[in-house]
């Protein structure tokens, strides 16, 4: 493994304790904002456009966190552009994956709800209330 | 491997010259992580597709609402703790890598130990959560939680939850094992003799990837 020592690895741009602290603070703040949005969402009625907007915001914050982890903690931002492209370009397939699969899932739901009355009837059945519901109020310590 | 071929120029790139200015192992770690990202991505997209194809879905704030010692009624609290544990352990891992660059053995050891503790803490949290959900009747093929609108739910929710967090937990577990190996190698001066701590960097890449996956799992299962 002689060849591995030939690479001068400490000549990267960036790095340093300052950057680590900065990224840590950014990640923590983004997480706190995500959680705040999560708590806010609990008080809102499900399915409204406001809730969808909050969920979209959470996804954008999630992608920002991913950028900071990959770019700074995993150091990808300071690598050569060839390496960045090698890793990031194949991941662009996810754009198509997500759009195609979620669209397909949604269309399957619409089809079943529109053309399969049995499915629709079944999906509107209320869940049976559990008998031990009152017991669950006790703190369940394992 | 015919011996008649000229051996001076290798036919395939063997890492001798670095086109990306990273050593062979690190490039291969990136390739592995990319493939692993597709595995996790496939899991999460399957979950999303199923969720989009189903009329009702359990409310995560009603499912994940217990905190050890406090009981139910605290949605998001426990998972926030788990998230911060993983972020902090990721930070200590960066510090270990940085100390390795500066050839500071003691700092590498301290930060690796902190990272291992963080990993074990996360695994303990997950073990508690799984045990708790299991005691409520949730497991693969069994879902006691009704949909948010009160309709009867399928077992898709628990199946995906246990499969994906289980797969992630297994990654955390292997990451802890890798970090323990790195710690032993540091303590036995393997890297000092080699003259560099590049191996820690590769272990670090894996550990950050585990943290990265948790960002997605946390968002998809607990928040949205």
pLDDT in tens, B130-178: 999 999 999 999 999 999 888 989 999 999 999 999 999 999 999 999 9
Q: Tens digits of per-residue pLDDT, B67-119?
A: 998 888 888 999 999 999 999 999 999 999 999 999 999 999 999 999 999 99
3-state secondary structure chain B: CCCCCCCCCCCCCCCCCCCCCCCHHHHHHHHHHHHHHHHHHHHHHHHHHHHHCCCCCCCHHHHCCCECCCECCCCCHHHHHHHHHHHHHHHHHHHHHHHHHCCCHHHHHHHHHHHHHHHHHHHHHHHHHHHHHHHCCCECCECCCCCCCCECCCCHHHHHHHHHHHHHHHHHHHHHHHHHHHHHHHHCCHHHHHCCCHHHHHHHHHHHHHHHHHHHHHHHHHHC
- Model confidence band, residue B8 (pLDDT cutoffs 50, 70, 90): low
How far, in Å, CA of B93 to CA of B89, rounded? 6
**Which residues of A fall within a CB distance of 8 Å from B23?**
3-4, 7, 9
What per-residue confidence (pLDDT) applies to B42?
Answer: 96
Binned at pLDDT 50, 70 and 90, residue B19 comes out as confident
- Residue B143 in contact with residue B157, Cβ under 8 Å? yes
Q: What domains does chain B contain, in order, with CATH numbers?
A: 24-223 (1.20.120.80)
What is the reported pLDDT for B20?
81
What distance in Å separates the CA atoms of residue A29 and residue A49, rounded to the nearest whole number?
25
Across all residues in chain A, what is the average pLDDT?
84
Inter-chain touch B61–A42, beta carbons under 8 Å? yes
Residues B68, B101: Cα–Cα separation, whole Å: 40
pLDDT at B156: 94
Please give the pLDDT value at position B46.
Answer: 97
| Phi and psi at residue B124, to the nearest 5° | -65, -40
Q: Over chain B, what is the mean pLDDT?
A: 91
Predicted confidence (pLDDT) at residue A36 exceeds the cutoff of 70: yes
- pLDDT tens readout for residues B45-74: 999 999 999 988 999 989 999 999 888 888
Closest Cα in chain B, distance from residue A36 (Å): 10
Angle between helices B198-218 and B156-187 (to 10 degrees): 160
Cα B110 from Cα B115, distance rounded (Å): 9
List own/partner pairs for B75-82 with CB under 8 A and 24 or more apart.
Answer: B75/A42, B76/A35, B76/A38, B76/A39, B76/B222, B76/B223, B78/B125, B78/B129, B79/B218, B79/B222, B80/A31, B80/A35, B81/B125, B82/B122, B82/B125, B82/B126, B82/B129, B82/B214, B82/B218
At A47-75, the pLDDT tens digits run: 889 999 999 999 999 999 999 999 999 99
The pLDDT assigned to B98 comes to 94
Whole-angstrom CA distances from B72 to A110, B75, B78, B165 are 35, 8, 11, 21
pLDDT at residue number B23: 85
Give residue A110's pLDDT: 95
Does A38 sit within 8 Å of B55, measured CB to CB? no
Answer whether A130 sits within 8 Å of B144, measured CB to CB: yes
pLDDT higher than threshold 80 for residue A4: no
Kindly report, residue by residue over A109-120, the tens digit of the pLDDT: 999 999 999 988
Q: At A28, list the tokens.
A: 């923590």
The pLDDT confidence band at residue B10, using thresholds 50, 70 and 90, is low
Whole-number pLDDT of residue A136: 47
Nearest to B34 among A87, A104, A120 (CB): A87
Q: Does A136 touch chain B (CB under 8 A)?
A: yes
Quick one: pLDDT at residue B11? Answer: 67
- B4 pLDDT higher than 60: no
Sign (positive or negative) of CA dihedral B200, B206, B209, B211:
negative
- In chain B, which residue's Cα lies nearest the Cα of A67? B212
| pLDDT at res. A5 | 44
pTM of the model: 0.87
Report the greatest alpha carbon distance in chain B. Answer: 75
Region of A7 (left: φ > 0; alpha: ψ -120 to 50; beta: rest) is beta
- Asked if pLDDT for residue A130 goes beyond 70, the answer is no
Buried b (16+ CB within 10 A) or exposed e, A36-59: ebbeebeeeeeeeeeeeebbeebb
pLDDT-based confidence at residue A123 (cuts at 50, 70, 90): confident
Residue B12 has pLDDT above 70, yes or no: no
Whether residue B2 is predicted with pLDDT greater than 60 in this model: the reply is no
Chain A residues touching B28 at Cβ < 8 A = none
Q: Per residue in B198-216, pLDDT tens? A: 999 999 999 999 999 999 9
The Cβ of residue B170 has, within 10 Å, a number of other Cβ atoms equal to 11
Task: Tell me whether residues A34 and B50 touch, CB distance under 8 A.
Answer: no
Closest CB from A7, A58, A125 relative to B18: A7
Strand partners, B123: none
Beta-carbon contacts below 8 Å between A and B:
188
- Residue A138, helix vs strand vs coil: coil
* Residue B100 CA: distances (Å) to CA of A69, A138, B8, B111, B172: 19, 50, 35, 10, 22
């Amino acid at each position: 493994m002689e060849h591995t020592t030939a690479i001068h690895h400490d000549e990267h741009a960036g790095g340093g304790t300052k950057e680590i602290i900065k990224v840590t603070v950014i990640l923590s703040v983004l997480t706190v904002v995500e959680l705040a949005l999560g708590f806010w969402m609990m008080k809102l009625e499900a399915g409204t456009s406001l809730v969808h907007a909050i969920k979209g915001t959470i996804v954008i914050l999630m992608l920002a966190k991913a950028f900071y982890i990959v770019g700074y903690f995993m150091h990808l931002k300071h690598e050569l552009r060839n390496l960045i492209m090698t890793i990031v370009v194949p991941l662009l397939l996810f754009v198509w994956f997500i759009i195609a699969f979620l669209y397909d899932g949604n269309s399957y739901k619409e089809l079943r709800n529109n053309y399969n009355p049995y499915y629709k009837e079944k999906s509107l059945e209320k869940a049976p209330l559990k008998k031990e519901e009152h017991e669950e109020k006790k703190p369940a310590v394992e | 491997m015919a011996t008649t071929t000229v051996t001076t120029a290798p036919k395939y790139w063997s890492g001798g010259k670095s086109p990306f200015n990273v050593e062979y192992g690190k490039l291969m770690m990136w390739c592995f992580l990319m493939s692993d990202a597709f595995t996790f991505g496939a899991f999460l997209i399957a979950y999303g597709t199923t969720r989009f194809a189903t009329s009702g879905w359990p409310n995560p704030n009603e499912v994940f609402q217990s905190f050890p010692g406090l009981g139910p009624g605290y949605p998001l609290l426990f998972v926030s703790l788990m998230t911060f544990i993983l972020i902090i352990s990721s930070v200590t891992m960066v510090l270990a890598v940085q100390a390795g660059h500066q050839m500071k053995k003691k700092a590498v050891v301290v930060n690796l130990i902190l990272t291992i503790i963080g990993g074990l803490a996360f695994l303990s949290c997950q073990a508690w959560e799984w045990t708790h959900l299991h005691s409520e009747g949730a497991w693969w093929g069994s879902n006691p939680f009704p949909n948010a609108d009160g309709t009867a739910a399928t077992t898709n929710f628990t199946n995906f939850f246990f499969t994906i967090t289980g797969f992630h937990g297994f990654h955390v577990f292997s990451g802890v094992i890798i970090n323990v190996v790195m710690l032993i190698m540091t303590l036995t001066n393997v890297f000092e003799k080699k003259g560099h701590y590049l191996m820690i960097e590769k272990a670090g890449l894996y550990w950050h990837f585990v943290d990265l996956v948790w960002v997605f799992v946390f968002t998809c299962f607990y928040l949205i």
